[in-house]
Amino acid sequence: MDTGVSVFSASLPLDDEEVDTLTIGRRIRQLRTARGLTLDDLAAAVGRAPSQLSMIENGHREAKLTLLQAIARALECRLDAILDAEPLDARAALEISVERAMRGPTFQALGIAPFRVGRSVPDEVLAAMLALQGEIERLREERSATPEEARRANVALRRLMRTQDNHFPDLERVASEMLDAIDHPGGPLTQRGASDIAAHLGFTLHYVPDLPSSTRSIADARNGRLYLSTRVAKGDPRAAVLQALSSRMLGHGEPTSYDEFLRQRVETNYLTGALLLPEAHVVPALREAKERRALSIEDLRDAYSVSYETAAHRFTNLATVHLGIPVHFLKVHESGTITKAYENDDVNFPTDRLGSIEGQMCCRRWTSRVVFDEDDRFNPYYQYTDTGNGTYWCTARVEQSSEGAHSVSVGVRFDDTKWFRGRDTLNRGVSRHAVETCCRRAPAELEAAWRGRAWPNVRTPRTLLATLPTGAFPGVDTTEMYEFLQAHAPTGE
């Protein structure tokens, strides 16, 4: 099943006029020289100036249909021979590629003015120019994979998610069609159901002890094998399989930028949640719980045997569109750093100058921070928080990860609290994080006593501040991955 669905990416129109102009010009030149005609000969035959035909042959001017018909008659060929989209030979293809490159942003950024590619320029020179241009573009992509670029991509993605209330019908449709394809009876997806999805997509599952440490899984599309690690003790085995296969269901190609990589990752996580908690089954249950004023992330988690974070994510996908409840979602590292965030209820998240929330410090008085001080990790923690933007109620829980503890919280405006379990909590906080003295600066007497006399070793999730690794899949050692696939390929490959 390869639907090619991407709810985030939009196709950009190709510059067909430029492509046709270059290709047509080269075909005219080749047909002319093949018949032993000079530029002057052809110009005289069609009644035009040689300079005008030279502009057409070099792709600098578009020829009208009547002129192309005249040229075809002079060259004793059909018009189709001139309008064919493919160059006549490899040399023409090289010339066209170089001229396109010279008209592109890389040459322009370097201040290199386009020049005529004459027949005297060797093929090797043209190939070297294209190779250098490709390497420059690759290096530019690698330089852009920085924390600032990641934050910009996150901001743009979050804005798009907000415009759609974090609900993407195309991804819901892909999930529904896949569940229908394996004859899923409804309700929670079982581990057998996840295995059936893998088989439907043509993959067998292989758990190995030597999966590269930089990967969660590897799909061998050539041999129809999905490799997962035997060392993973925690986590939902269904989610690991579905996350690995979601890109296949969505027809993802190798990402060409960090922005595309991030969007593919969000799509993958969304689709995994939509398969584990099917919309057709979850929405009626949520509506019934709302009628009873008993909405609960914990109940959703337990009913579908997923993690609290997965349940919280899925609730934010469905709450606004199907229940009419604006929400916010927050994941905070134990250091206080925000690692994931989403809102459409106007909660006032801290942001940097780019508008990015991820990487910012969460207010110490918010539910997402206060929950770390709670001794009871079995029951959810609820809290009302008065902010400069109104009062919000949140439910939160702490979960462990490979990088330490994280809190996951879902919150709503005060008026929507009536639909949730935990609304009777007496826990209350007051946050003025928009004012620096709320929690981002210590009280004056403490600052006076200790500023300049303390030097902490910061504990922050490494993925937030480190420069992102380069490559199509940031953080993945491709050499190690390919060596792994080579070693595990079936005999004879």
Average pLDDT over residues 334-353: 87
**CB atoms near residue 209 (< 10 Å):** 7
Q: Which residue stretches of 324-364 are H helix?
A: none
pLDDT at 7: 58
Task: Measure Cα distances from 345 to 282, 411, 412, 454 in Å.
Answer: 22, 9, 7, 39
Burial zone of 123 (CB within 10 Å; 0-12 exposed, 13-18 middle, 19+ buried): exposed
- Of the candidate ranges 28-32, 93-97, 198-202, 292-296, the one whose mean pLDDT is the lowest: 93-97
pLDDT at 458: 47
Q: How far apart are CA 85 and CA 443, in angstroms?
A: 71
pLDDT at 284: 96
CB 65 within 8 A of CB 80: no
Q: How far apart are CA 5 and CA 252, in angstroms?
A: 8
- For residue 425, give both structure tokens: 């909590």
**374 in helix, strand or coil?**
coil
Phi, psi of 208 (to 5 degrees): -130, 150
Of the pLDDT bands very low, low, confident and very high (cuts 50, 70, 90), residue 18 is very low
Q: Please say if the pLDDT value at position 399 is more than 50.
A: yes
Residue-wise pLDDT for 113-164, tens only, equals 777 777 788 888 888 888 888 877 766 655 555 566 677 777 888 888 989 9
Q: Please say if the pLDDT value at position 394 is more than 70.
A: yes
Residue-wise pLDDT for 227-286, tens only, equals 988 875 567 889 989 998 998 999 988 777 777 888 888 999 999 999 999 999 999 999
CB 393 within 8 A of CB 417: yes
Of the pLDDT bands very low, low, confident and very high (cuts 50, 70, 90), residue 452 is low
Average pLDDT over residues 428-436: 73
Q: Give which of 188, 224, 189, 186 is closest to 203, Cα–Cα.
A: 224
Q: Which residue has the tokens 């606004």?
A: 320
- For residue 182, give both structure tokens: 């394996």
pLDDT at 88: 64
Q: Please say if the pLDDT value at position 326 is more than 70.
A: yes
Residue of 334 and 3 predicted with greater confidence: 334
Residue-wise pLDDT for 195-212, tens only, equals 999 999 999 999 998 888
Which residues, in sequence order, are bridge partners of residue 404?
401
Residue of 404 and 477 predicted with greater confidence: 404
CB 312 within 8 A of CB 410: yes
